[in-house]
Structure 1
């Protein structure tokens, strides 16, 4: 993707974007980030006549135009949920939390996730109770939910507040709904990031924190992919990021399976490396550097028991 500013007036900035297929787009980006005009000659004008790949390329061009304007001008035109730089700042703030701060901000999310393993003999839940009952209209197995929390930073880029636990689930095939458990006030503005996780059997807050940090790293990958860009090397990682992109990776042939930790995608790897609740001596007895198994596969037993 390549772009340049070609015009501006008191409401919009005109951007010329050459997409990865060599098609030229002329896109008007308003100063508040809306797309107020878009023309191109490489794809059908009627969205119903476009292939999935063509439709995704249209989205790439629009997202990249917003990103380019935000990078090259003083206007904040990139949506909060596609802002890789801001997500990285949130990752740093999240990674720096103490155990007590983790419990204050994400204790309910941690317990809600772990509660799904109460009957698993291989996971020591320590009697963890589920903070919120699952919705009665949810379909599918117990673990067929997506948990989220929104994170807000202060002027010093430290965590100021988090939302309550948000639960997304299916009520019918293809039909999702959301329940929010907001117990504390949050700033009246867009969040700086939103973590999105499926239930995972972590029994210690520190590796759980690292799980959340890695989710944001995968979301940064999704930000770049969603703009038609190859992510920087630090974000060529495998694993679930934003659910909306995971769905595209699963169902659209134009995308590799970035969400799959076992996917074979050149240049990409699964790099989740949590802090372990065990000593260095114990760690040495668990890891075989000559093994073909991933480090995570060798250590995951230590993550899920106390």
Structure 2
């Protein structure tokens, strides 16, 4: 992807984007709402109904990249907060610095919910609707609001990239040792079908803190809620009423897996998930992420589904996928 800003006035910003197929797109982004007001190109059908899935996804990537380019070049807050890699990285860094008591304070319900998937004696704090087709087909969510501004976090995911690569390796090692990836792969079969169970190599890697990381204050974290897919119907979300008037900085979207009552393991699982979310923001606009975020696993659920069903994407959600440049470093 490549982009250049060709003009700006009080109403909007014009951007020319050259996509990964070499097609030039002329785009206008409306100021304030930051919606795409105008999009012209001559490489794909104008009618979305006449495009292939690949062509339609290319158009979507270009629009995301145009907003990303304006965000970086002109410092406007053009991105949906929960799709902004800087905001996700700020959440990641904050979670990484939480002690065990804070992890239980904010995420204790999810810890117990995940424990119940491997231990029938654990009372499940979140009861699922009877309409849920199978327990594996559930995504648990929490909205995270940070005490920060866009100026505080702008460029943050790039600032911490060097330190992130080292600690991401340690996180993966912890999760492998705990068997989390193995059970997570089993759970993914609930979405996609088939037996995804595979043995994982045991690795022991210690973490080294990085001075690049700093913690941001927590303004609020919602109660957990969940969504599930229904055949021939839109996905259903249960709960999720958020008292905050502003959109969340990050939406945690975790596929359940059997887990111990360990704040340390849950913290590692959550950090890994957020690393994958940063990855997904890049893949979604047709760009390879920085090396620290070229990690395999489940991130933004919308993209997990795309990676499985769109042939143009490798299966980044699969922790054992053979994708050049991606893995455990």
Is TM-score (shorter-chain normalized) higher than 0.5? yes
- May I ask how many residue pairs the two structures share in their alignment? 261
SS in 1 for 2:15: strand
| 1:162 aligned onto 2:163 | no
SS in 1 for 2:239: strand
Query: TM-score under structure 2 normalisation?
Result: 0.76
CA offset digits 1:232-278 (Å, max 9, x no partner): 1011111111111011100111101101111100110046xxxxxxx
Query: TM-score under structure 1 normalisation?
Result: 0.82
SS in 2 for 1:221: helix
Question: 1:231 Cα shift?
Answer: 0.9
CA offset digits 1:93-134 (Å, max 9, x no partner): 011111111111000111112112224xxxxxxx43211211
**Alignment partner of 1:153 out of 139, 142, 146:** 146
Question: 1:186 Cα shift?
Answer: 4.1
Confirm or deny: 8 A CA contact 2:279 2:289 kept in the other structure.
Answer: yes
Q: 1:190 to 1:92 in 2, by over 3 A?
A: same
| 1:192 aligned onto 2:222 | no
Alpha-carbon distance in structure 2 between the residues aligned to 1:225 and 1:176: 23
Structure with a larger share of its residues in helix:
2
Runs of at least 5 residues in structure 2 that lack an aligned partner in the other structure = 149-214
Question: 1:88 Cα shift?
Answer: 0.7
Alpha-carbon distance in structure 2 between the residues aligned to 1:256 and 1:215: 18
SS in 1 for 2:327: coil
Alpha-carbon distance in structure 2 between the residues aligned to 1:209 and 1:112: 15
Moved over 6 A (4+): none
Alpha-carbon distance in structure 2 between the residues aligned to 1:172 and 1:59: 25
CA offset digits 1:36-55 (Å, max 9, x no partner): 11000111111112111111
Question: 1:74 Cα shift?
Answer: 3.3
Alpha-carbon distance in structure 1 between the residues aligned to 2:240 and 2:19: 41
Q: 1:83 aligns to what?
A: 84
